[in-house]
Amino acid sequence: MAVIVPPDDMPFEADMEFPNCVVDLPEIGVITVTLKVRNLYEITLRSGQRSKRSGCQFVNLIPAAQNIIQRYITKIERERKARESGLA
């Protein structure tokens, strides 16, 4: 999962784990997970502003959370395909 990196005064680096993160997947549900920071990188937005991002890994997901995430991914993919084909 990609996240925006918090301000510089908050510790946030590779291999850090953040337990009890609440992730709200619109129209699907809310899950509480542990996230592990896997990488950090900087991107340039269309406005020219630079932003720090991070890729995080879900740690020890329970099957119910895996199902919710899979349902969300399926929903997003369905919507994307509908937009591309002109149906939405």
What's the pLDDT score for residue 39? 94
Average pLDDT over residues 57-78: 95
What's the pLDDT score for residue 75? 94
Name all domains of the chain by residue range, CATH numbers in brackets. 2-84 (2.40.10.220)
Rounded Cα distance between 45 and 4, Å, is 12
Query: Residue 16: beta bridge partners?
Result: none
DSSP H/E element including 32: strand 29-44
The reported pTM is 0.80
pLDDT in tens, 7-55: 777 888 999 999 999 999 999 999 999 999 999 998 898 999 888 899 9
What's the pLDDT score for residue 9? 79
Residue 88 pLDDT > 70, yes or no? Answer: no
